[in-house]
Amino acid sequence: MSVRTLRLPSPTHPRRALGAAAATAAVALAAVTLLPTGQAGAAGTTLRSLAEANGLYFGTAISQGDLNNAPLTAVAGSQFGMLTPTNEMKWDTIEPSRGSFSYGPADRLVSFAQTHSMRVRGHTLVWHSQLPSWVNSLPGSQVKTAMENHINNEVTHYKGKLYAWDVVNEPFNEDGSFRTDAFYNAMGSGYVADALRTARAADPTAKLYLNDYNIEGLNAKSDAMYNLVKSLKGQGVPLDGVGFQAHFILGQIPSSFKANLQRFTALGVNVAITELDDRMPLPPSADKLARQAGDYASVVNTCLTVSGCVGLTQWGVGDPDSWIPGTFPGYGAATLYDANYQPKPAYTASANALGGGTTSPTPTPTPTPTPPGASCQVSGKVSPWNTGLTEDITITNTGSTALNGWALTYTLPAGQTVTNSWNASLTPATGRVTATNLSYNATLAPGAATSFGFQATHTGDTAFPTSFSLNGTACTTS
Ligand code: G2I
């Protein structure tokens, strides 16, 4: 993995990159051992600081009512560096009747963010849902004026205070056709460009995004978003990024997630994970929580490895305030924090993916070929389910020489195909696989151990891999 350019270093200058020396210092500061579960939140070990050391932000969604929840606000104000109001910037709250604007609830959230040096993603200006009935009742000829007035008023109210706006939310149906809401019906697809231009005119400093769900993988809906972005950029319409909501289901992160994000950044826009959660059938179990940790690590790693991915926002702080149980009965436990706002395995996995828990960020990705005395022991655990598995592998350097770069090669059982990995780079996806260190875990001192993991699909054989060798020397397994 190459060393990343730092982005988003400060709340007041959100897009100014730090210099190389500051970057090194920031990475070194962040590379500290994570505290045990329950203590996460101490200075220097937060998701926020770890993300920022990688040039990313880690955010959360908060609603007005959440501000009365002391455990929630303690976590939110320390662990997250970006705040999205859950509902308070939506049309039905801001302009419940025509020309009558109400900013109190959203202002309180912006104030909380400012108090905690968090930045704010505005969500959302134009959306078919949580749209007051007066908009839907307008004659088509009046919708454009009403939309422009709404955008102009709201964006002007927050001018200079927001990092970004989700200007248009969820414009597409699942098959990639435009959603036939009041805006499309009145203006056709041109409402999107009009909304973006209106927002840019009202606040030239806020980043402007389109945001949608089920566009994380390559599919008809993401194709539609891709074509829209390409067309808008071609016309010179102001558009800075695409938000991928990322409401995932346990074990179902699309294998094309990274490739899909990359095709968008190739169009000259940033990408952001805007509403991350990972739901599971209730009740949670140790096995499900471990698989969820793998999912979160994989999402964080995807953003880390896509140049142009600016950050991640989780939808809600903890499981008690997640929208999932109310919308998907029988599902829940979708966030990084449990019912008592204690960090879950997914928290630790996300922090580790961001470089927490390491002691040295030595950026030396090239494996040393067969160093003298390289000997190793490998242990691990497979957590299978019907069609997939999560696997954690620990390598111990049992030799007397420190490794400065490592590559562990092993044979996957037939039918297993790697879909994503964390703490190592894996290739190819089947057969004889080589896992190579990342920049932050390259060094392996004598007696030291390091762990990485991956998810794979399988066709029945869920056995642990065989025939391990580290930098060309065979390992023992335990
Ligand atoms: O549905 C999950 C998210 C999908 N992407 C766009 C997001 O804006 C959306 O957020 C959710 C909020 O988390 C919910 O809190 O949007 C829902 C509405 O579509 C929100 O639910 C609404 C309830 O439906 C209303 O009954 C309630 O009055 O929240 C309102 C405020 O509590």
Phi then psi for residue 353, to 5 deg, are -60, -30
For the chain of 478 residues, list the mean pLDDT of each consecutive stretch of 10.
Answer: 39 31 34 35 73 97 97 97 98 98 98 98 98 98 98 98 98 98 98 98 98 98 98 98 98 98 98 98 97 98 98 98 97 97 97 75 38 75 86 91 87 90 83 84 87 89 92 87
Report the C-alpha gap between 42 and 51 in whole angstroms: 15
What is 376-477's CATH number, 2.60.40.290, 3.40.50.920, 1.10.760.10, 3.40.50.720?
2.60.40.290
**Superfamily of domain covering 20-353:** Glycosidases (3.20.20.80)
Query: Cβ–Cβ contacts within 10 Å for residue 58, how many?
Result: 28
- 3-state SS assignment for residue 395: strand
pLDDT given at position 386? 85
How far, in whole angstroms, is CA 286 from its chain's centroid? 23
170 is catalytic: yes
What atom of ligand 1 comes closest to residue 315's alpha carbon?
13
- Which residue bears the tokens 């924090």? 337
C-alpha count within 13 angstroms, C-beta hemisphere, residue 247 = 14
Taken in order 103, 104, 105, 108, is the CA torsion positive or negative? Answer: positive
Q: Is the overall model pTM greater than 0.85, yes or no? A: no
88 is catalytic: no
- The edge-to-edge listing of strands for the beta sheet with 476-477 is 417-422, 449-457, 388-397, 376-384, 476-477
Catalytic residue among 88, 154, 216, 275: 275
Report the C-alpha gap between 428 and 322 in whole angstroms: 37
pLDDT given at position 38? 34
What atom of ligand 1 comes closest to residue 213's alpha carbon?
5
Report the C-alpha gap between 476 and 64 in whole angstroms: 55
84 lines ligand 1 (CB under 6 A): no
Report the C-alpha gap between 221 and 225 in whole angstroms: 6
In the reported structure, the alpha carbon of residue 229 is separated from the centroid of ligand 1 by a whole-number distance in angstroms of 26
Q: Could you check whether 20-353 and 376-477 share the same CATH topology? A: no
What atom of ligand 1 comes closest to residue 316's alpha carbon?
13
Residue nearest to atom 20 of ligand 1 (CA): 87
In the reported structure, the alpha carbon of residue 457 is separated from the centroid of ligand 1 by a whole-number distance in angstroms of 33
Instruction: Enumerate the domain spans of the chain.
Output: 20-353, 376-477
pLDDT given at position 195? 99
Report the C-alpha gap between 317 and 75 in whole angstroms: 8
65 lines ligand 1 (CB under 6 A): no
